[in-house]
Amino acid sequence: MGCIQSFRQCCDQPKNTNVRISLPAVCCIWQIAMIILFGIFIRYNEESDAHWIDHKTSNNISSNIENDFYFRYPSFQDVHVMIFVGFGFLMTFLKRYSFGAIGFNFLIAGFGLQWALLMQGWFHSLDPMDGKIKIGVESMINADFCVASCLIAYGAVLGKVSPVQLMVMTLFGVTLYAVEEYIILSLIHARDAGGSMVIHTFGAYYGLSISWMLYRPNLDQSKHRIGSVYHSDVFAMIGTLFLWMFWPSFNSAIADHGDGQHRAAINTYLSLAATVLTTIAISSLSQKTGKLDMVHIQNATLAGGVAVGTAAEFMLMPYGSLIVGFCCGIISTLGYIYITPFMEKYLKIHDTCGIHNLHAMPGVIGGIVGAITAAAASEEVYGKEGLINTFDFMKEWKYMVPTRQGGHQAAGLCVALCFGIGGGIIVGCILRLPIWGDAPDNSCFDDEVYWELPEDEENNPPTVEYNNHMRNKAVTESNLSMERRQN
C-alpha cells in the first residue's frame, strides 16, 4: 500500500495542459509508423484487388454482385456513421465540452481504425502464402467495431483526460481488443456478431477501470460544468438517434450472408423498440411529477441494442428480442438513477457518460442471453443445415453441440470481463503518470483547455462563470444603489 501511495504522490503533481509538443509528436510519429507497417503488411484481398476479374473466372462466380462489397457495404456505412456521428454527438451533451466530445472522438477513431486493421489482421487475416494481411470491406467493419470499444471507454473518462492520454488509451485498447477477440472468437469459438461481449463488455470495463485508476477526489471543483444546456441536449439526441437507428446494421454487419444478416437486423430492431418504452416508463416513474429526464432518453434507449448483440443472429425469436429490450430499458434507466451515483460515491469510479448502464450491464446481459440462446438451440428450430451454418459447427468444431456452445459463450464473456478490467487497471496506471497533459481538477469538462474557442463567452452558451459575473455585477449595482440611497 505504501508503494501505491508513493506512486500516487508521484502522479499528483501540478498539471501542465500544454500539449503542443506531445500531441503533434504522438500523431505524426504514430501515423508514420502506420504507414511503414501498412507498407510491409497490408494488401488488398482478392475481392478488392484488380485480379478480381481473374478470381471471378477461376472460381466460377457469375456476377460482380457476388463481391462481398455488395453484401456488406451499406451496413459498413451505417456502422461508420455510428462511430463518428453516433458516439461523437452522443457525448456532446455537456454544456462546454462539445468540441472535445466530437473532436477527440474523431481523433481516437481515425487512429484506432488503422491500428485495428493491423492488429486484427495479424490475428485473423494473415495470408500464410505471403505473410501479408489482406483487407476488404469486412476488415473495415471489424476495424470500426474495434474502435467502438475504445470510444465506449472514452465515455467513462470524457472531459477528464487529455488527447494524448486518449491516444495511449486507444493504442492499448485496440491491442487488448484484438487479443481478446482472437481468444473469444477463434480459440473459444464463441459467436458474437454484434459484440455484446467483445465490444461492449470489454470496452465498458476497460473504460471504467481506467476511470477508477484516474479517480480525482477534487472533481467537484468542475461540478458546475457537468450538466447540459438546452441545445447541447438536442445535439446529443443526434448521436442517440443515429446509434439507435443504425444498430440493426451494427449487429448484422458481419453476420452470415442471407438469413443471418436478415435475422440480426430484425432482432435488433425489435429489441430497441421495446427499450424505448420501458426507458420512458422508468424515467417518468423516477421523478416526483412524472417528468422525463433527457439523460435516460439519450442513453438507456440504446441498451436493447447492446444486449441483443450476441444473440441477434441466433433464433432468438421476435418476442425474445422484445423481452431482452424490455428488461434492458428498465435496468439501464435504474442504473442511471441509482448505480452511477453509488459508484461515484462508494467505489470511486466517476463515469461521465454512464457507460456502466449503457454498455457494461447490457453487454453482460447480452453475453448471458447469447449463452442461453445458444445452449437452447435445436435442430428442430434451426434445421440441420441451419444449425451448422449459424453456429459454424464446421472443420475442427464439427462435433460441437449447442449445449456446449452455450458454455463456450459463457467462457467468452469471462474473457471479455477479465481483459476489460485487467487491461484497464494497467493502462490506467500508465495514464496516471504526470506527463500526459491532462487538465487540473478545476478545469475538467471545459473545451477551453484544448481548443481555441470562438469569442462568444459573453452570452452563448452560458457558463457558470458568466452567470456569476452577471450576479456580481448585479450585486455591485445594488451596492451602488444602496450607497447612493444612503447619500
Which one of residues 157, 185, 312, 322 is an interface residue with its own copies (CB under 8 A)?
Answer: 322
Q: Which three cell numbers stand for residue 248?
A: 440493426
Give alpha helix (H) positions in 376-401: 379-382, 384-391
Which one of residues 182, 382, 393, 397 is an interface residue with its own copies (CB under 8 A)?
Answer: 382
The helix/strand/coil state of 150 is helix
- Closer Cβ to its own copies, 329 or 366, answer by number: 329
User: How, if at all, do strands 132-135 and 126-127 pair?
Assistant: antiparallel
At residue 205, φ and ψ (nearest 5 deg) are -70, -30
- Only one of the segments 97-105, 198-206, 394-402, 409-417 lies at the binding site for its own copies (rule: CB under 8 A); that segment is 97-105
The minimum distance between CB 393 and its own copies, in angstroms, equals: 13
Which one of residues 21, 187, 394, 433 is an interface residue with its own copies (CB under 8 A)?
Answer: 21
Q: Which three cell numbers stand for residue 35?
A: 504507414
Which one of residues 218, 220, 318, 472 is an interface residue with its own copies (CB under 8 A)?
Answer: 318
113 binds its own copies (CB under 8 A): yes
> Are 282 and 336 a contacting pair, CB within 8 Å?
no
Site map 462..481 versus its own copies, x via CB under 8 A: x---xx--x------x--xx
Question: Can you tell me the distance from the alpha carbon of 81 to that of 72, in angstroms, rounded to the nearest whole number?
Answer: 14
353 binds its own copies (CB under 8 A): no
Helix axes 259-285, 230-252, angle to 10 degrees: 150
- Only one of the segments 200-208, 237-245, 347-355, 400-408 lies at the binding site for its own copies (rule: CB under 8 A); that segment is 237-245
- Closer Cβ to its own copies, 80 or 416, answer by number: 80
Which one of residues 126, 219, 276, 411 is an interface residue with its own copies (CB under 8 A)?
Answer: 276
- Only one of the segments 99-107, 359-367, 404-412, 425-433 lies at the binding site for its own copies (rule: CB under 8 A); that segment is 99-107
The site for its own copies, by CB under 8 A, has a size of: 159
Which one of residues 126, 188, 219, 237 is an interface residue with its own copies (CB under 8 A)?
Answer: 237
> Are 399 and 189 a contacting pair, CB within 8 Å?
no
Does the N-terminal peptide bond of residue 461 adopt cis geometry, omega within 30 degrees of 0?
yes
- Binding positions for its own copies, 205-234, rule CB under 8 A: 227-234
- Only one of the segments 28-36, 152-160, 171-179, 407-415 lies at the binding site for its own copies (rule: CB under 8 A); that segment is 28-36
Tell which residue, 32, 19, 236, 38, has the closest CA to residue 119: 38
Contacts of 398 (CB under 8 A, 6+ apart): 388
31 binds its own copies (CB under 8 A): yes
The minimum distance between CB 322 and its own copies, in angstroms, equals: 5
Question: Can you tell me the distance from the alpha carbon of 206 to that of 358, in angstroms, rounded to the nearest whole number?
Answer: 14
Which one of residues 185, 204, 226, 297 is an interface residue with its own copies (CB under 8 A)?
Answer: 297
Which one of residues 15, 99, 400, 440 is an interface residue with its own copies (CB under 8 A)?
Answer: 99
- Binding positions for its own copies, 248-267, rule CB under 8 A: 248-249, 257-259, 261-263, 265-266
**How many other C-beta atoms lie within 10 A of the C-beta of residue 70?**
12
Q: Which three cell numbers stand for residue 197?
A: 461481449
- Closer Cβ to its own copies, 183 or 328, answer by number: 328
Which one of residues 14, 50, 346, 396 is an interface residue with its own copies (CB under 8 A)?
Answer: 50
Question: Can you tell me the distance from the alpha carbon of 264 to that of 361, in angstroms, rounded to the nearest whole number?
Answer: 21
The minimum distance between CB 203 and its own copies, in angstroms, equals: 20
Q: Dihedral sign for Cα 450, 456, 461, 462, please.
A: positive
- Closer Cβ to its own copies, 209 or 340, answer by number: 340
- Closer Cβ to its own copies, 144 or 181, answer by number: 144
432 binds its own copies (CB under 8 A): no
- Binding positions for its own copies, 126-185, rule CB under 8 A: 135-137, 140, 163
- Binding positions for its own copies, 438-467, rule CB under 8 A: 449-456, 458-462, 466-467
At residue 74, φ and ψ (nearest 5 deg) are -60, -40
Chain-centroid distance of CA 456 in Å reads 32
Question: Can you tell me the distance from the alpha carbon of 374 to that of 259, in angstroms, rounded to the nearest whole number?
Answer: 17
44 binds its own copies (CB under 8 A): yes
Q: What is the DSSP string of 41-105?
A: HEEE-TTTSTTHHHHHHHTT---GGGSHHHHHHHHHHHHHHIIIIIHHHHGGGSTT-HHHHHHHH
Which one of residues 59, 130, 217, 291 is an interface residue with its own copies (CB under 8 A)?
Answer: 291
* Cβ-based burial of 466 (10 A; exposed 0-12, middle 13-18, buried ≥19): middle
First to last CA, the chain: 65
Which one of residues 126, 179, 219, 294 is an interface residue with its own copies (CB under 8 A)?
Answer: 294
Which one of residues 15, 30, 215, 347 is an interface residue with its own copies (CB under 8 A)?
Answer: 30
The minimum distance between CB 208 and its own copies, in angstroms, equals: 25
- Only one of the segments 148-156, 315-323, 358-366, 394-402 lies at the binding site for its own copies (rule: CB under 8 A); that segment is 315-323
The minimum distance between CB 221 and its own copies, in angstroms, equals: 19
Site map 57..86 versus its own copies, x via CB under 8 A: -----xxxxxxxxxx-xxx-xx-xx--xx-
**How many other C-beta atoms lie within 10 A of the C-beta of residue 8?**
10
Question: Can you tell me the distance from the alpha carbon of 310 to that of 363, in angstroms, rounded to the nearest whole number?
Answer: 9
